[in-house]
Amino acid sequence: MNRNLAFGAGLTAVFVLAALISFAWVPQDVTQMDIANKIRPPSPAHPLGTDHFGRDILSMIMVGARTSIAVALVAVGIGMGLGVPLGLAAAARKGGWLDEVIMRANDLVFAFPSLLIAIMITAIFGASALNAIIAIGIFNIPVFARLTRSGALSLWTRDFVLAARVAGKGAARISFEHILPNVTNLLIVQGTIQFSLGILAEAGLSYVGLGAQPPTPSWGRMLADSQTMVSFAPHMALFPGLAILLTVLGLNLMGDGLRDLLDPRLRRDRQ
C-alpha cells in the first residue's frame, strides 16, 4: 500500500469524520456565546480553547469542516458535471467548430486569476456560501474539460473505439460507454486535487468576508477574526490554521497516492 495514500486518506478521513459527527454531536453549540469565558486557552473543558465570543473552538472547527467540505464538494461536482461532458464532446468532434468553441471558452476562463474572479462574483452577487460555491465551481469546469479532452483524444484512436464505431455506435454513446470509464482514474486524481484547492479557496473567500456568513462557522473567518488577537491568543489562529493546512495536505497526498496507484504508466516507470 502506498504510504502517501494511506497518510493522506487518514488525514482526510479525520476531517470528514469530524464533519459527519458534528451533525449529531458537538462539544458545545456553536451559536452559544459565553462572553464571560472568552479567549480562554485550551483546557479540559475546551480542548482547543474558546474564541473572542467564548465559543468552543473545537466545535467551531468541526462545524467549519462541514462548511469547507460542502463548498469544495459541490464546487468539484459543478466542475465535473459540466467539464467532463464538455471535454468528451470536444474530443469527439476534434478539430471541428464545437471543439474550437469549447476549448477557446476554456482558455478564456483559464486566463483569469480564479480567486480574483471568485471575489468579483461574490462582490457582485453578495457574499454567501452559495455564491462562493458557484464562483469556485465555475473555475473547476475548464480544468476537467481539458483533462477529459486530452485523455479522450488518445482513446479515440484505439482499436476498441474503432470496433465500437464499426458496430454503428454514435459519438455520444461511445463517449459515455467506452471513453468515460477509461478516463475515470484521471478524473479521480484531479478531483482530489481540485477538492483541496476548493477548500483553500473557500477559506480564502471567508477570510476576506466573502464566504459563508456568520453565524455559520468557517475556518477562513475564524482566522480573520483571530488576526488582531494572535499576539496574545495564538490558539485562536493556530487551530483553524492547522485544520486548513492538514486537510489540504491530506487531500494532496491522497491525490498523489491515487495517481501512483491508478496510472499504469507511472507504475511501470517506478519499477
Partner 1 sequence: MFSGWLRAGALSAAAVVASVGWAQARTDLVVGMQLEPPHLDPTSAAAGAIDSVLYSNVFEGLTRFMSDGSVVPGLAESWEISEDGTVYTFTLRSGVSFHDGTAMDAEDVKFSLDRARAEDSQNAQKALFADIDTVEVVDPQTVRVTLKQPNGSFLFNMAWGDAVIVAPESIDGIKQQPVGTGAFKFSNWVQGDRIEIVKNPDYWGEPAKLDRATFKFIADPTAAFAAVMAEDVHVFSGFPAPENLPQFEADPRFQVLVGSTEGETILGTNNKMPPFDNVKVREALAHAIDRQAIIDGAMFGYGTPIGTHFAPHNPDYVDLTGMSDYDPEKSKALLAEAGFPDGFTTTLKLPPPSYARRGGEIIAAQLREVGIQTEITNLEWPQWLEEVFRGKDFGLTIVSHTEPADINIYARPDYYFQYDNPAFQQLMTDLNNTTDPAGRSAILKQAQEMIAGDYVNGYLFQLAALSVANAKVMGLWANAPTQATDLTGVYWED
User: CB under 8 A: which stretch of 3-11, 26-34, 179-187, 263-271 binds partner 1?
Assistant: 26-34
User: CB under 8 A: which stretch of 11-19, 58-66, 155-163, 213-221 binds partner 1?
Assistant: 213-221
H or E element in which residue 87 lies: helix 57-92
Using rule CB under 8 A, residue 28 touches partner 1 = no
**Alpha carbons 80 and 25: distance in angstroms, whole number:** 32
- Helix 57-92 crosses helix 97-111 at what angle (to 10 degrees)? 150
User: CB under 8 A: which stretch of 33-41, 89-97, 178-186, 252-260 binds partner 1?
Assistant: 33-41
Query: Which of the residues 116 through 175 are near partner 1 (CB under 8 A)?
Result: 126-127
Which lies closer to partner 1 via its Cβ, residue 41 or residue 209?
Answer: 209
Which lies closer to partner 1 via its Cβ, residue 36 or residue 111?
Answer: 36
Q: How far is the CB of 52 from partner 1 (least distance, A)?
A: 7
Q: How far is the CB of 140 from partner 1 (least distance, A)?
A: 26
Distance of CA 204 to the CA centre of its chain: 13
Which of 24, 159, 231, 271 forms a contact with partner 1 (CB under 8 A)?
231
Using rule CB under 8 A, residue 215 touches partner 1 = yes
Which lies closer to partner 1 via its Cβ, residue 125 or residue 176?
Answer: 125
Residue 60, Ramachandran bin (φ over 0: left; ψ between -120 and 50: alpha; else beta): alpha
Query: Which of the residues 89 through 108 are near partner 1 (CB under 8 A)?
Result: none
Integer angstrom CA distances of residue 96 from 89, 91, 102, 176, 217 = 10, 9, 10, 19, 48
Using rule CB under 8 A, residue 32 touches partner 1 = yes
Provide CB contacts within 8 A for 78, sequence distance 6+. 133, 134, 137, 138, 140, 141
Binding mask 39-78 for partner 1 (x = CB under 8 A): -------------xxx------------------------
The residue count for the chain: 271
Burial of 80: CB neighbours in 10 Å, binned 0-12, 13-18, 19+: buried
**Alpha carbons 84 and 86: distance in angstroms, whole number:** 5
Which of 163, 214, 266, 267 forms a contact with partner 1 (CB under 8 A)?
214
Which of 213, 238, 241, 249 forms a contact with partner 1 (CB under 8 A)?
213
Which lies closer to partner 1 via its Cβ, residue 230 or residue 246?
Answer: 230
**DSSP-assigned letters across all residues of 25-37:** --SS-TT---GGG
Place of cell 504508466: 265
Q: How far is the CB of 209 from partner 1 (least distance, A)?
A: 5
Please compute, for residue 260, the number of CA atoms within 13 A of its CA located in the half-sphere on the CB side: 14
Closest residue by Cα to residue 66 from 24, 27, 33, 114:
24
Q: How far is the CB of 225 from partner 1 (least distance, A)?
A: 8
What residue ranges bind partner 1 (CB under 8 A)? 31-33, 35-36, 38, 52-54, 126-127, 209, 213-215, 227-229, 231-232
